[in-house]
Structure 1
């Protein structure tokens, strides 16, 4: 069990670095600006679908299993409000607090839940790790760009993302050790994360999908959501 948690936590966190590498490649090798922006928008759309499926198939249904409806909805709203206030904090201090920290805001509670959920639902743990991995990819892609805008060199930006890719492993192990028999806390973290992710989707991500009136880009959301549908059918 422990080895599986380590393996899938590393999988979930690896895309933090991989997303940065892809962004580095785009910056140095892809010089067609329109093609670059088109691919980025499709990637964002796909990620949006993945995040919606994570909310729909794992975080909310599994989070609500052990909690009363009123508490579940309260935690969901609390997650959204918390991400809203943190978003405002970043906006006011955008030169002091990099957007990469915002990526960790949902990565950390999801990783804690990942380590804990493996104990009582192995298949859901695997599915959650896949969702986290796909969710981190476009976020780290944008984080690399932001780190470069903050005057970090390419190698330093990639090094930062490489270090952050292990954050998930650390918090998954903490979740496994301290929350393996605390299903209520794990469920609360899942619902809190779901509320925060829902806020991020419609506040920060969805507005980016419109690109030069190419409405077909939004179909990427459907393809991302299929990941959840396939995962749900498997487990």
Structure 2
């Protein structure tokens, strides 16, 4: 079981690095054209749709399932306020890493849930790992562009993404060994993450993905959410 857990959580995480590699190739080997500009913004909105589906279909339902109204509201509000503060701090320092924050706030709780689920329902955990991996690709693609745009070199960004790709294994092991019998704590973690992600999504990611007189970005968000629906249906 441990071998399978490491294998699938490793797959879920390595797509962070793969998404960064794809963005690096796209940035440096595809010439600048209006079409390229539209593709990058559509990828941003596609990632936003997937992130939104993670909130609506994975993170919040777990909170609703395990928590009463007041604890759930407190965890959600704490996530919003803490990420409001983080976002303001990053803005003052000229950083544009909201997509990276949203990706990790989505990726880590879901990896923990993956580890906690693996002991109970390996089939569901396997599908969850595939879903997380599919989410990470467009999110990492967008995060790479944000980080390079905020001053990081391509090499440093890829090194960071390579390290982050192993966070899935760490989160899954924590979930498997420490939170399998703690559904309330897992639910608080997911609800907290939901508040933070939703704030970043509405304040930073969605406005950045919008293009004037272009409808591909809206389609990208809708189809990104559809990916989440399909993943949840399969799970």
For the superposition of Structure 1 and Structure 2, which TM-score range results when normalised by the shorter chain?
Answer: 0.7 to 0.9
Q: Answer yes or no: is the 8 Å Cα contact 2:53–2:228 preserved in 1.
A: yes
Please give the residue correspondences for 1:7-18 in structure 2 after superposition, counting only pairs within 5 Å. 7-18=7-18
What is the correspondence of 1:142-181 to structure 2 with a 5 Å cutoff? Answer: 142-149=142-149, 152-181=152-181
TM-score, length-scaled by structure 2 = 0.86
Alignment partners' CA distance in 1, 2:121 and 2:198 = 24
Q: Which stretch of structure 1 is more off in the superposition, 183-192 or 212-221?
A: 212-221
Q: How does 1:1-235 map to 2 (within 5 A)?
A: 1-94=1-94, 102=101, 103-122=103-122, 124-149=124-149, 152-235=152-235
How many residues in Structure 1 have an aligned counterpart in Structure 2? 234
Distance 1:151 1:67 in 2: 41
- Tell me how far apart the structure 2 counterparts of residues 80 and 124 of structure 1 sit (CA, whole Å): 29
CA deviation profile, 1:205-234 (whole Å, cap 9, x unmatched): 110232131023201111111122223333
Residue 43 of structure 2 contacts residue 142 of structure 2 at CA under 8 Å; is this kept in 1?
A: no
TM-score (norm 1): 0.86
Is 1:107–1:168's contact at 8 Å kept on the other side of the alignment? yes
- Offset from partner CA, 1:111-163 (integer Å, 9 cap, x none): 32332233345455345434433443334324433444566543333222112
SS of the equivalent of 1:180 reads coil
* 8 A Cα contact 2:19 2:138, kept in partner: yes
List per-residue Cα deviations over 1:87-132 (Å, max 9, x = no partner).
Answer: 112122346x966863434433333233223334545534543443
Distance 1:149 1:211, change over 3 A: closer
Q: Which runs of 5+ in 2 are unaligned?
A: none
Unaligned runs of 5+ in 1: none
Mapped to 1, the partners of 2:105 and 2:54 lie a distance apart of 16
- RMSD between aligned alpha carbons? 2.5
